[in-house]
Amino acid sequence: DTGVSQDPRHKITKRGQNVTFRCDPISEHNRLYWYRQTLGQGPEFLTYFQNEAQLEKSRLLSDRFSAERPKGSFSTLEIQRTEQGDSAMYLCASSPNSDTGELFFGEGSRLTVL
């Protein structure tokens, strides 16, 4: 296991379609984060898991967004009824359950909504 893996790397979809992104964290990491990043901006916090428990969810996440982390391993982020404003890079990061605080990021999943 060499790092955080995200799939797909690129997704082009039509407005109104549903999309799902997957993140496989580093295997021994308990914490998993999702961020959204638009061009020229910093990553915006979306949600955070400690094992399988979703501890916090940003107000940026409308009811069209849902994230899961079954069994505390991989995580999925689903966007229903996509809108053009959802176009962004979706970044996943994981972190060990210690006080080091360092996040390990995947390469991201870029979503384009036409």
Partner 1 sequence: SQQGEEDPQALSIQEGENATMNCSYKTSINNLQWYRQNSGRGLVHLILIRSNEREKHSGRLRVTLDTSKKSSSLLITASRAADTASYFCATDLKTSYDKVIFGPGTSLSVIP
Kindly list the residues in this chain that would bind partner 1 in the complex (CB under 8 A): 4, 31, 33, 35, 40-45, 48, 50, 55-56, 91, 93, 95, 99-108
CA-CA distance, 26 to 100, in Å (whole number)? 15
What is the nearest approach in angstroms of partner 1 to the Cβ of residue 81? 27
Are the CB atoms for 83 and 17 separated by under 8 Å? no
β-strand 10-13 against 109-113: which pairing, if any?
Answer: parallel
What is the nearest approach in angstroms of partner 1 to the Cβ of residue 26? 13
What is the nearest approach in angstroms of partner 1 to the Cβ of residue 69? 15
Closer Cβ to partner 1, 30 or 80, answer by number = 30
Ramachandran sector of residue 59 (left: φ over 0; alpha: ψ -120 to 50; beta: rest): alpha
